[in-house]
Amino acid sequence: MIYNIPYLAVVALILIGLYAVLFKRNLIKMVIGITLIESGVNLFLITLGYRKDSIAPIRTGNPEGVMSLPVPQALTLTSIVIGVAVLALMLTLIVHIYRHYGTLDVRKLSKGSDDE
């Protein structure tokens, strides 16, 4: 069991993010929790493709040993950029919600507001 510690770190990140989404009331704390879940998933993708005592998959002139797998690193690049894009849109919507309603509490927002 001592050899699976990076995967237990991934599980810890995902569970902390899930706790922040489920049990907090402020909208900004929920957004921070979503970012933590995305970071955990990116870490999981990278640690899947590691070989023991390996170098980066770049061919220089020296004949070396084993190389890590390059495909999970390419998938993680795409995932990080998509995470940044979704975070920007979420924060924009939070700014507009605060300007319109004056509060950021989820319980008060979901009980119905004073619409006309």
Partner 1 sequence: MKSVRNIVAVVFFAIVGMFLIFSALMVHPFGNPNLVDGEEVETKMDDHIIGGINETTGKPYGAQTETGADNAVTSVVFDYRGFDTLGEATVLFTAVAGVMLLFRRRKK
Partner 2 sequence: MNGMSRIVKTVSSFAFPFVLIYGFYIIAHGHLTPGGGFQGGAVVASGCAMILVAYGSIWTMERIKEKDLSIFESLGAIGFIGLAFFGLIFGGYFFKNYILEKGFFFNEMAIGASNINTAGVIPLMNFAVGLKVMAGLFAIVLVMAYASSKKEEDK
- Which residues form the interface with partner 1 (CB under 8 A)? 1, 3-8, 10-11, 14-15, 18-19, 22-23, 47-52, 57-60, 67, 69-71, 73-75, 77-78, 81-82, 85-86, 88-89, 92-93, 96
Query: Residue 99 has which token pair?
Result: 């300007």
Backbone angles phi, psi at 85, to 5 degrees: -65, -45
All residues at 6 or more sequence positions from 73 whose CB lies less than 8 Å from its CB, including other chains: 46, 49
Region from 4-12, 32-40, 43-51, 89-97 binding partner 2, contact rule CB under 8 A? 89-97
Among 81, 102, 107, 115, the residue binding partner 2 under the rule CB under 8 A is: 81
17 burial class (0-12, 13-18, 19+ CB within 10 angstroms)?
buried
Query: Which positions lie near partner 2, rule CB under 8 A?
Result: 56, 58-61, 77, 81, 84, 88, 91-92, 95
